Homo-oligomer: A and B are copies of this chain.
Amino acid sequence: MRVTIIGVGLLGGSFGMALRKSGAADHVAGVDLDRATLDRAIDRGAVDEGFLDLAEGVERADLVVLATPVRAILEMLPGLASILGAETVLLDLGSTKEAIVSTVASQAGIKRYVGGHPMAGTEHAGIEHADARLLQDATFALVPPPEVDEGAVDLLTDLVRGIGACPVVIPAERHDRIVSITSHLPYLLSVVLALAAENMAREEDRLGAFAASGFRDTTRLAASNVRVMADICLTNGRPLLRGIEDARRLLDDLAALIEEGRESELVRTLTTAKESRASLLEERRTD
């Protein structure tokens, strides 16, 4: 199978490495805006060859993989629709799915599309940080459009298994709702914490000395690629706004317990949080 990956950054590069290492693809081409990035992707073993021209890059591909930020994917779809072969399967790795699935539906030229989202990432961006192991054992959502191409879903399920990730077939709306809580709300809370610290740091010059591992880990996601995350927030607004509302309500409840010194309820709530987290992470591990 010949695969073309468009956007060879952290995720596209890691996917290419995993494909090549596992032998799941015979040939991996990369398309990027920048020659130096393509050369680096070849050096790092992420792709076999690189193209600056989209049409040239996808010409002989059995599978085309879009690995750019969500809105760059949305902008690319109409152009792709006119050059994609009728049998070519299209997969995207964008972090939100409804916007992409519905845009694909409006493009008659795209016949065999399945959305994808590997639950793997780091706060670092770019081909330098790409690593085949990033996808190892990761949940890899496969999100078929309303008109499902079963052949494409089967092909991708095998491919995802082939690189050592765990395929989960799930509809776009359900995917977006889940990741609003497991990925996007964590990011925003991390941002809120960094901003609250910034506010205090303006009048408290010793703050930095007190930022230990708890602060570092809880704000780690705030170091994510801003463009990628802004795209995510703006294309997953509805579920994310519900998540924010939920977080606000939970914060209010905690504030009331603290303000009124309701110790046993506070202990109960903190215990629920601890146990829920443990059981969610346990499910992940044993899935």
Seen from chain A, the residues whose Cβ lies within 8 Å of a Cβ on chain B are 119-122, 138-139, 141, 166, 168, 170, 174, 177-179, 181-183, 185-201, 204, 206-224, 226-227, 229-230, 233-234, 237, 240-241, 243-248, 250-252, 254-255, 258-259, 261, 263, 266-267, 269-274, 276-284, 287
Complex CA distance for A142 and B185, rounded to whole angstroms: 36
A102: min CB distance to chain B, Å: 17
**B246→A196 contact, CB < 8 A:** yes
**A273→B195 contact, CB < 8 A:** yes
Complex CA distance for A227 and B190, rounded to whole angstroms: 24
Which residue, of A217, A223, A276, has the highest number of chain B Cβ atoms within 10 A? A276
SS class, residues of chain A in contact with chain B: helix
**B211→A284 contact, CB < 8 A:** yes
A188-B254, A191-B269 given; A197·B220 CB < 8 A: no
A-B residue pairs, 5 tightest by C-beta: A208-B283, A198-B276, A186-B218, A194-B273, A119-B212
Name 12 extra pairs, CB < 8 A, besides A119-B210, A182-B214, A211-B280.
A121-B213, A139-B209, A177-B200, A181-B207, A185-B193, A188-B254, A189-B192, A194-B274, A197-B276, A222-B270, A222-B277, A237-B259
Which residues of the other chain, B, contact A267 by a CB distance below 8 angstroms? 226-227, 230
**A206→B250 contact, CB < 8 A:** no
